[in-house]
Amino acid sequence: MNPEFITSLLDFGALGLFAGFLIWLYISTQRRNEATQKKFEATLDKINANFDARVTDMRKRYGIVIADLRAETMEIRRSYVDDLGARVDELGARLERIEMVVRALETAQKIKEAAYTIRKGGEETNPDVTGELHRLATSLSLDDA
């Protein structure tokens, strides 16, 4: 403060001194508030930096967890698909065997019917064919069926 200002305050007596005190109090309070605000802002910056670091760490951990879950899910899907493929292949093979058995049964039935017809003498056939049919029927054990 400049000396003229202080002199003019002293000229007003007690009221001037009180006004000077209020001015001094206001200025010191402003300085204290500015210092407190700077400390508060510094503390907030530290908290924000710490928060950002923690969020980054959490994102990394959750990223790892999510990647692991996705990998596990894909592995489970692959195993189910492989298992399903193996089962479909197995069912296809069974179906092929069933189709072979059905064709063999149909052939055996035709042979049995032809052998029965030949035994009963219903058709004129070549003796070689008759012997072959009889041999097939015997090898399939269809004579008595």
| 74 assigned to some structural domain | yes
Alpha-carbon dihedral 134, 140, 142, 144, rounded to 10 degrees? 90
- Choose the weakest-confidence range: 46-50, 88-92, 94-98, 116-120: 116-120
In a domain, 41, yes or no: yes
Domain residues for the domain of 8 are 3-139
Give the C-alpha separation, 63 to 75, whole Å: 18
Q: Using the predicted structure, report yes or no on whether residue 64 has a pLDDT greater than 70.
A: yes
Q: Please list, residue by residue across 82-118, b when 16 or more beta carbons sit within 10 angstroms of its beta carbon and e when fewer do.
A: eeeeeeeeeeeeeeeeeeeeeeeeeebeebbebbeeb
Q: Residue 97: how many CA atoms within 13 Å on its side-chain side? A: 6
CA distance 26 to 83: 83
Contact 112, 145 (CB under 8 A): yes
Answer whether 0.75 is exceeded by the pTM.
no
Is 144 a member of any domain? no
pLDDT in tens, 7-39: 887 888 888 888 889 999 999 999 999 999 999
Q: For residue 25, tell me if it sits in a domain.
A: yes
Q: How many domains does the chain have?
A: 1
Query: What is the chain's mean pLDDT, rounded?
Result: 84
Residue 145 lies in a domain: no
